[in-house]
Amino acid sequence: MAQTASEITAEARAVIPGGVNSATRNIGQPTGFRTASGSRIVDFDGKEYIDYHAAFGAILLGHRDERVSSAVAAALEDIDLVGLGVTELELEVARLTARLIPSVEMSISTMSGTEATMQAVRLARAVTGRKFLLKFQGCFHGWHDAVARNVISSPERAYAVDPLSSGILDDALQSTLVAEFNDLASVEELFAAHPDQIAAVILEPVPHNVGALLPDQAFLQGLRELTRKEGSLLIFDEVITGFRHAPGGYQELCGITPDLTSYGKAMGNGLAVAGLGGSAELMSRFSSAGGDVVLAGTFNGNPVSMAAAIATMTVASDPAVGLHAHTSRLGDRMRDGMRGIVNRLGIPAVVTGIGSVFVTYFLEGEVKGYRDLLRNDDTAYATFHRRMTDAGHMMYPMSLKRNHISLAHTAEDIDSTLEAAESVLAGMQKDGLLS
């Protein structure tokens, strides 16, 4: 007889801190899942959900896509982890990455986006010989010390030193500067205050870790020109935007080429794989090419991850499949439908997003940067997602989190979710939970 959800959860908490291997997986109900397929996931109690969480965006094609599963199985028929030299799979991933992402001539493989941004920061400091890194309030670039500050900050901690964790040295926190997204003047002020000391500017070109702040083209272009003028590197963290919004990431859409690009998540459709790429000149600073920036990692470029990446990137870039046309069409359907609902109900909300990503902020007025998000009704946002999840539509019940559409989603999925959203929002309105 299968164990119940409460039994599994209790046993997990006895041997895993909090019962989960990442704090953000602890969402209350449901406590865990038994199966996943296509656009659906099923919890321990057998309840099915249309999945818009999508493993924080890692699921691009749909859960357990047969093309990815078959590629992984085929790779394991020939080779497992050797850890010496190079495999043909690694070579193919590097070739595909260089073909798809405009900024990439040469690349390395890692196992996570955190590792990719860690390598980017270290490389930038080595190349420039400078100390400071500049990031933006609200952007998340992993959990390593250099960037683990100022993501979803409270109003009193925003723009001040707001670490994600204890145990980080003050020197590491103070060596990272924080600016406002879509505000080039805030960046220029920091460059003026730290002349010839800023190694790199790192940003999510679309800050999806706080929903979806859409960038002004002039802002991105201004960053490109400013970093060139100041001798700093421009790093696009496309761990979320990469492959999801276009085969070449957001840089393909905006036409701005950074010096370095980190990517991951959707790259392997749920399998652990990420990477960092840039010019051959920059990437040759890694110790694998005789340079002075260490490159190490037993599982980097392992056959399972590489096979998954090849399959996913191939599908994502195949015009015959039309992944981005499909997900953008459904994204527009969801966003247009949600706008209609909040307008009919007279709810102060901003529905936004891009391509396959959709977000509903509970606020009025323009949303350009993190300062605007300080007006968001975080309780209403989390309650809406909580009630949608309870209704069978998996949306992460924490404020400022985005939702994702995959190739496996259908128009019927979207319409079902919109029907549930209207009921949930009307119920929240009746309960006095909306402004």
* End-of-domain residue from the set 264, 289, 316: 316
Q: In this structure, which amino acid lies at residue 428? A: M
- Structural domain includes residue 435: no
pLDDT in tens, 378-420: 999 999 999 999 999 999 999 999 999 999 999 999 999 999 9
Residue 203 and residue 105 in one domain: yes
pLDDT band at 435 (very low <50, low <70, confident <90, very high): confident
Residue 76 token pair: 């394991």
Residue 390 and residue 377 in one domain: yes
Quick check: 1 pLDDT over 70? no
Alpha carbon distances (Å) from 123 to 178, 260, 284, 310:
20, 9, 10, 26
Residue 104 and residue 217 in one domain: yes
Contact 78, 284 (CB under 8 A): no
Quick check: 2 pLDDT over 90? no
pLDDT in tens, 172-215: 999 999 999 999 999 999 999 999 999 999 999 999 999 999 99
pLDDT in tens, 346-367: 999 999 999 999 999 999 999 9
Contact 56, 265 (CB under 8 A): yes
pLDDT band at 17 (very low <50, low <70, confident <90, very high): very high
- Structural domain includes residue 90: yes
Residue 53 token pair: 């969480």
pLDDT in tens, 262-298: 999 999 999 999 999 999 999 999 999 999 999 999 9
Pairing of strands 106-110, 132-136: unpaired
The chain-wide mean pLDDT, for the chain, equals 97
Residue 148 and residue 243 in one domain: yes
What pLDDT shows up at residue 56? 96
pLDDT in tens, 217-229: 999 999 999 999 9
Dihedral of CA atoms 311, 296, 278, 127 in degrees, nearest 10, equals: 170
Q: CA triplet 139, 361, 50: central angle to 5 degrees? A: 90
Pairing of strands 48-51, 40-43: antiparallel
Residue 173 and residue 72 in one domain: yes
* End-of-domain residue from the set 294, 316, 338: 316
What pLDDT shows up at residue 411? 98
Residue 61 token pair: 């094609």
Quick check: 124 pLDDT over 80? yes
Domain span holding position 56: 5-64+322-430
* End-of-domain residue from the set 289, 316, 343: 316
State the pTM of this model. 0.97
Quick check: 59 pLDDT over 90? yes
Residue 97 and residue 182 in one domain: yes
Q: For residue 79, give the CATH number of its domain.
A: 3.40.640.10
The total number of structural domains that make up the chain: 2
Kindly state the percentage of the chain with pLDDT values over 70. 100
Contact 310, 93 (CB under 8 A): yes
Alpha carbon distances (Å) from 102 to 16, 238, 286:
41, 12, 21
Residue 44 and residue 128 in one domain: no
Q: What are phi and psi of 69, to 5 degrees?
A: -60, -40
Is-cis flag, bond preceding 215, omega within 30?
no
SS3 content of the chain, % helix, strand, coil (to 5): 45, 15, 40
What pLDDT shows up at residue 311? 98
Residue (of 395, 373, 370, 369) closest to 384 by Cα position: 395
Contact 414, 333 (CB under 8 A): yes
